[in-house]
């Protein structure tokens, strides 16, 4: 299996990355360093994670050359309107202490994301960002962006795991030459996913863990994965997914686990959408 995928603008992106969602800033530098030492070359953060500065420090302190690291961050809703978007992108570069960002995503499909998208197009053309995309967008929203803008998203990062495989969205994204990326590839460890009998039996057959099986299943579907852990052994384990292959029968077994059970979408009531849309983060310094 190839360890990178080519985006729709020719940029190469690793297929296994390390995510830092909900990792406190004072822990982030250490674990990102461990991930880079393990072999990860994709690091995924966001302004709203409040740990961009530590991610940048880990990258700058690493012996891995910068041009071998694929750095992703995300723009939060509070910065979508007016000229705030471009200012926020410069702010992210400053916090990360980097000359460029490899992939910049709009974090949520809320607020004035059309204006923000056009700011992303502008900074990509200026060379501050190598590729642009979205996160948590439904496919109809991605299609709408494509129709009415110049540059199509290269990536859509959405919640994808065996209990919520997002088959229709994954298939449409791939048909549209947009890379699907799995946030929460292990289902937030909810709904008994780590003790699921189908997954545990398949893991046993391959002498692998359930986590490794879930990641491999997504990879074989053409989905990029960004698992998260703060434990060094698990960080290494989650990268050890290139030395085995699931059979067609096993893939079908896992496909049959679909419960249409999205942790994130389950939270999206009108009230929580209002809350997210009005959420402000203090990440300016």
At 261-275, the pLDDT tens digits run 776 776 678 988 888
What pLDDT sits at residue 273?
Answer: 87
231 annotated binding-site participant: no
Within-domain flag for 283: no
Within-domain flag for 136: yes
What pLDDT sits at residue 262?
Answer: 74
Q: What percent of the chain has pLDDT over 90?
A: 89
Within-domain flag for 117: yes
Within-domain flag for 133: yes
With 70 as the cut, is the pLDDT of residue 95 above it?
yes
Domain count, the chain: 1
Range of the domain at 213: 4-278
Q: Catalytic positions, please?
A: 49
Within-domain flag for 235: yes
CATH number at residue 195: 3.20.20.100
Q: What percent of the chain has pLDDT over 70?
A: 98
* Helical packing angle, 197-206 and 210-220, nearest 10°: 90
pTM of the model: 0.96
With 90 as the cut, is the pLDDT of residue 191 above it?
no
């Amino acid at each position: 299996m190839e360890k990178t995928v080519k985006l729709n603008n020719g940029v190469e992106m690793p297929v296994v990355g390390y995510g830092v969602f909900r990792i406190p800033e004072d822990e982030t530098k250490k674990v990102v360093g461990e991930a880079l030492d393990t072999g990860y070359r994709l690091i995924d953060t966001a302004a709203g994670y409040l740990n961009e500065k530590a991610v940048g420090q880990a990258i700058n302190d690493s012996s891995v050359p910068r041009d071998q690291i694929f750095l992703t961050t995300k723009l939060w809703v509070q910065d979508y309107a007016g000229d705030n978007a471009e200012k926020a992108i410069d702010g992210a570069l400053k916090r990360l202490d980097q000359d460029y960002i490899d992939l910049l995503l709009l974090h949520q499909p809320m607020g004035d994301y059309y204006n923000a998208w056009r700011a992303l197009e502008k900074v990509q053309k200026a060379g501050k960002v190598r590729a642009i995309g979205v996160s948590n967008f439904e496919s109809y929203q991605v299609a709408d962006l494509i129709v009415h803008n110049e540059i199509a998203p290269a990536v859509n990062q959405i919640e994808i795991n065996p209990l919520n495989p997002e088959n229709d969205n994954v298939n449409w994204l791939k048909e549209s030459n947009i890379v699907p990326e799995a946030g929460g590839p292990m289902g937030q460890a909810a709904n008994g996913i780590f003790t699921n009998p189908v997954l545990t039996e398949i893991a046993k057959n391959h002498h692998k863990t359930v986590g490794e099986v879930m990641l491999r299943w997504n990879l074989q579907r053409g989905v990029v994965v960004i698992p998260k852990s703060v434990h060094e052994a698990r960080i290494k384990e989650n990268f050890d997914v290139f030395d085995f292959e699931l059979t067609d029968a096993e893939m079908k077994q896992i496909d049959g686990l679909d419960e249409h059970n999205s942790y994130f979408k389950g939270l999206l009531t009108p009230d929580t959408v209002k809350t997210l849309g009005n959420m402000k983060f203090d990440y300016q310094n």
